[in-house]
């Protein structure tokens, strides 16, 4: 019996060591691919940065009024945006090549790449969605806040927060859906949350704007034009303000 136990142990140890021995080169191939491509990415990024700085890419972009590009760019520099995009593209490419190399070097029959690569692609997409959603949420929240403040709405901050969370909830639902996590639960939760936020905002704006709406209706019935914010052409011509 002890012989059988010894045999079973030695065979299992042999199998584990064999698998480890065949797994390590595959893992090494994966790391090597990621490292090499990251190094290539860093070199490419530095080269692009130098070339674009030499041709004054930032100045050209700002002169051509492509404000939207500059506003999204890291450090507010289109050159940095291009360089970093190139670097991360190389890193992602390295991960893909590494997984393929891992799959090729690993002698097992389970085709890991077949499962991992599509999921990794989805993960990259999800990360991009998350970043884009966060940036858009912040941008829209600020736009709404400033617009509402300049329209002299007392609940400007509340409105801005509502818009921000609407976009964030939408982004979170999209990310989870993209990663195929949660399934129907996410859709239901998203519907409830999104609807809830919209309803809350509608009620808040509706109740908060009662006075504004009634004043506006009174004004329209009296056919008096809306005053310009800051411009007062009321009582007498002597009180007229002209900003320009």
Partner 1 sequence: MASTQTNVDIAAAATVPTGSLLVSLVPLSPEALEATLATLSLAFANQTVLVATPDTAPSLSLGGPLRLLPYTPTAVSDTSWVLTAADYLNAFKLVQENQASACLLLGAESHTLHPEAIRALAAATATSDLAVARYDLGPREGLVNSAILYPVTRALFAARPRFPLAIDLGLSVRMAQRLAADAQRFTASSQNDALIWPVSAAAAANFSISEIDVGTRTFAQPVASDLNSILAQIASSLFTDVDAKASFWQRARSTQTGRSVAPTSPPMEHPADVAPMLDAFQIAYTNLHEIWALVLPPNSLLGLKRLSAMPPASFRMPDSLWARIVYDFILAFRLRTINRGHLLGALTPLYLAWVASHLLLISSGTAPEKHIEDLASVFEADKPYLVSRWRWPDRFNP
Q: Which residues bind partner 1 (CB under 8 A)?
A: 63-65, 67, 70-71, 76, 139, 142-143, 145-150, 152-154, 156-157, 160, 228-232, 234-236, 238-244
- If the CB atoms of residues 21 and 238 are measured against partner 1, the closer one turns out to be 238
Q: What residue ranges in 97-230 does DSSP mark as E strands?
A: none
- If the CB atoms of residues 38 and 70 are measured against partner 1, the closer one turns out to be 70
Helix (H) or strand (E) holding 44: helix 2-54
Least Å distance between CB 139 and partner 1? 7
Cβ-count burial of 93 within 10 angstroms (0-12 exposed, 13-18 middle, 19+ buried)?
middle
- If the CB atoms of residues 19 and 142 are measured against partner 1, the closer one turns out to be 142
**What per-residue string of b and e applies to 201-210 under the rule 16 or more CB within 10 Å gives b?**
beeebeeeee
Least Å distance between CB 19 and partner 1? 54
What whole-number distance in Å separates Cα of residue 127 and Cα of residue 120? 10
- If the CB atoms of residues 23 and 139 are measured against partner 1, the closer one turns out to be 139
- If the CB atoms of residues 74 and 206 are measured against partner 1, the closer one turns out to be 74
Distance of CA 143 to the CA centre of its chain: 18
Least Å distance between CB 83 and partner 1? 17
SS3 94: helix
Least Å distance between CB 132 and partner 1? 16
- Tokens encoding 71: 């506003």
What whole-number distance in Å separates Cα of residue 239 and Cα of residue 217? 25
């Amino acid at each position: 019996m002890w012989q059988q136990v010894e045999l079973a142990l030695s065979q299992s140890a042999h199998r584990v060591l064999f698998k480890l021995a065949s797994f390590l080169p595959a893992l090494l191939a994966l790391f090597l691919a990621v490292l090499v491509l990251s190094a290539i990415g860093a070199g490419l990024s530095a080269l692009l940065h130098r070339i674009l700085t030499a041709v004054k890419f930032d100045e050209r972009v700002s002169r051509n009024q492509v404000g939207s590009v500059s506003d999204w760019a890291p450090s507010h520099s289109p050159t940095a945006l291009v360089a970093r995009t190139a670097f991360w593209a190389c890193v992602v490419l390295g991960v893909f090549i590494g997984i393929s190399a891992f799959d090729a070097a690993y002698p097992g029959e389970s085709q890991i790449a077949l499962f991992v690569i599509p999921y990794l692609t989805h993960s990259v997409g999800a990360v991009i969605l998350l970043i884009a959603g966060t940036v858009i949420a912040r941008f829209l929240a600020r736009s709404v806040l400033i617009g509402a403040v300049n329209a002299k709405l007392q609940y400007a901050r509340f409105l801005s927060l509502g818009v921000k969370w609407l976009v964030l909830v939408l982004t979170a639902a999209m990310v989870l859906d993209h990663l195929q996590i949660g399934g129907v639960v996410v859709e239901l939760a998203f519907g409830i949350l999104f609807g809830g936020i919209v309803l809350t905002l509608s009620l808040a704006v509706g109740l908060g704007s009662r006075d504004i709406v009634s004043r506006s209706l009174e004004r329209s019935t009296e056919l008096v034009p809306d005053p310009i914010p800051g411009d007062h052409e009321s009582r007498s011509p002597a009180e007229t303000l002209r900003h320009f």
